Structure 1
Amino acid sequence: MSTTHGAETPAALNPGAPPERFQRKYAMLSTPDPNWVRNDNFHNSFLIPYDDATEHALKHSAENGMPDIAVHPGQGKFLNLLARTIGAKRILEVGTLGGYSTIWFARAVPEDGQVVTCELLDKYAKVARDNFEYAGVSSKIKIVVGPAAETLPTLPTDEKFDLAFIDADKASNLTYFLEAKRVVKRGGVIIVDNVVRNGTVANPDIDDENVRGVRRLLEHIKNDKEVDATTIGTVSEKGYDGFLYALYL
């Protein structure tokens, strides 16, 4: 935990705060300001109790050579709270990785609810299944393995999703968003992660495939009368980024 500028640590200000979290080295777009990291640690020490299952998911994923790009704890808690707030029973996730965010979602849905999560790689899906088993949420989760651009169109529309979370390759954002619209109910929510990217999306001098993928999504939504959306910028232990929040009208 950061103690720059002589500030007290969260544990000092909040006796009984959870032990220091498993140290993560995110593949960041920008180096986070020490104040952002300190702020995350401080707030989390009050609001997010230490949880063995989610920490195990991060550690087990790292031990299996997976990239350290899961959502941060505060965002995981936000996704959980959002799902609970809207009473989500069925959730679609695009991009499983080690299943960290999936666990947060699975804990939010009722016992007869379901999280369908799409993962490209078999080896990542195996690690995620191990993490779900450890967390005791396997019965609520279905993993669909393969390119999401191919597997999403196979999802039936007879039982709609209440919430979709898109956190996969950014170049395919629009493809995933349109497929999410196909299976999410009216009044449902679609969230797309990593749409600010250290401000590069708004920088005309930047033109990589990830940035183009976000821009294509924004251009589509501008003229899509079936959704209403906004971008929420965030700064955290992962750097400067943000997510798009869309309501399917």
Structure 2
Amino acid sequence: MTTKSIPLTDELHAYLVGHGSPPDEVVRDLAEETRSLLPAQASMQVAPEQAAFLTFLTRLIGARQAVEVGTFTGLSSLAIARGLPEGGRLTCFDISEEYTGIARRYWARAGVDDRIELRIGPAGDTLRELPHERYLDFAFIDADKTGYPIYWAELVPRVRPGGVIAVDNVLRGGRVIAPQSADDRAIAAFNDEVLADVRVDAVMLPVADGLTLARVR
């Protein structure tokens, strides 16, 4: 037994993924195409166990209205959309037509494109176009790290009481304890901001590169 999360070897990670909801052909093909076409950016894609968790979490909280900031090639949005019920809606915000062009193809292939709306443009601006009311059930932030405080500020007031905000890359490969770059410093400061935010109850999980879950009060 241990009082802290254990490190994952490649073999243990494969065991973990193999004992959850297994990636289907669509997910496997999307991950492979991303690695093949965008090898330098492929690490921006969520981990397979994280994708499965996003589907599980979306279903668990009964989310019908969701937002994603930072879509890349669409694995996380695909996972969230699969967790929505019939009539559910996911609004995605990204700045890249190239990356999200891949996402659109896989959304259609998975049969969830009818529940996803993609808005292209700087999310700091486009998020402000959302209704100014507490209607969102779920939000996922996984975009440029220096923009996290802006996205947080726009989303928290729009999430209903009991709704959840998930934030990715909050450990920065462990560098949050000794930041080495502007992105590291931005995330370290953001983590402190979330900790001090009395509007939410938050927990940081060692999933992939660190995932914060915040439940809005």
Question: Normalising to structure 2: TM-score of the pair?
Answer: 0.89
Whole-Å separation in 1 of the counterparts to 2:160 and 2:189? 23
- Residue 182 of structure 1 deviates from its aligned partner by 2.6
Is 1:246 aligned to residue 207 of structure 2? no
Letter in 2 for 1:178: A
SS in 1 for 2:215: strand
Q: Is this contact kept in 2: 1:102–1:117, CA < 8 A?
A: yes
Give the counterpart of 1:209 among 152, 177, 182.
182
Q: Is this contact kept in 1: 2:23–2:48, CA < 8 A?
A: no
- Residue 54 of structure 1 deviates from its aligned partner by 1.0
Unmatched 5+ stretches in structure 2: 1-6
Q: Against the structure 1 CA distance between its residues 156 and 80, is the aligned structure 2 distance closer, same or farther, given a 3 Å change threshold?
A: same
Higher Rg of the two aligned structures: 1
Whole-Å separation in 2 of the counterparts to 1:62 and 1:160? 36
The count of corresponding residues between Structure 1 and Structure 2 is 209
Q: Which residue is equivalent to 2:198? A: 225
Q: Is this contact kept in 2: 1:195–1:243, CA < 8 A?
A: yes
Q: Is this contact kept in 1: 2:170–2:191, CA < 8 A?
A: no
Q: Against the structure 1 CA distance between its residues 62 and 43, is the aligned structure 2 distance closer, same or farther, given a 3 Å change threshold?
A: closer
Q: Which residue is equivalent to 2:89? A: 114
Q: Give the percent of matched residue pairs that are identical in Structure 1 and Structure 2.
A: 32
Q: Against the structure 1 CA distance between its residues 61 and 36, is the aligned structure 2 distance closer, same or farther, given a 3 Å change threshold?
A: same
Mapping for residues 1-249 of structure 1, pairs under 5 Å: 36-65=9-38, 67-68=41-42, 69-158=44-133, 160-203=135-178, 206-234=179-207, 241-249=209-217
Unmatched 5+ stretches in structure 1: 1-32
SS in 1 for 2:45: coil
Whole-Å separation in 2 of the counterparts to 1:134 and 1:60? 14
- RMSD after superposition: 1.8
Question: Normalising to structure 1: TM-score of the pair?
Answer: 0.78
Whole-Å separation in 2 of the counterparts to 1:145 and 1:91? 17
Q: Against the structure 1 CA distance between its residues 187 and 50, is the aligned structure 2 distance closer, same or farther, given a 3 Å change threshold?
A: closer
Q: Against the structure 1 CA distance between its residues 50 and 245, is the aligned structure 2 distance closer, same or farther, given a 3 Å change threshold?
A: closer
User: RCO (CA 8 Å, sep 6+): is it higher in 1 or 2?
Assistant: 1
Whole-Å separation in 1 of the counterparts to 2:69 and 2:50? 16
Whole-Å separation in 2 of the counterparts to 1:219 and 1:101? 25
CA deviation string 1:86-124 (max 9, x = no partner) = 111111111100100111111110110011111111112
SS in 2 for 1:157: coil
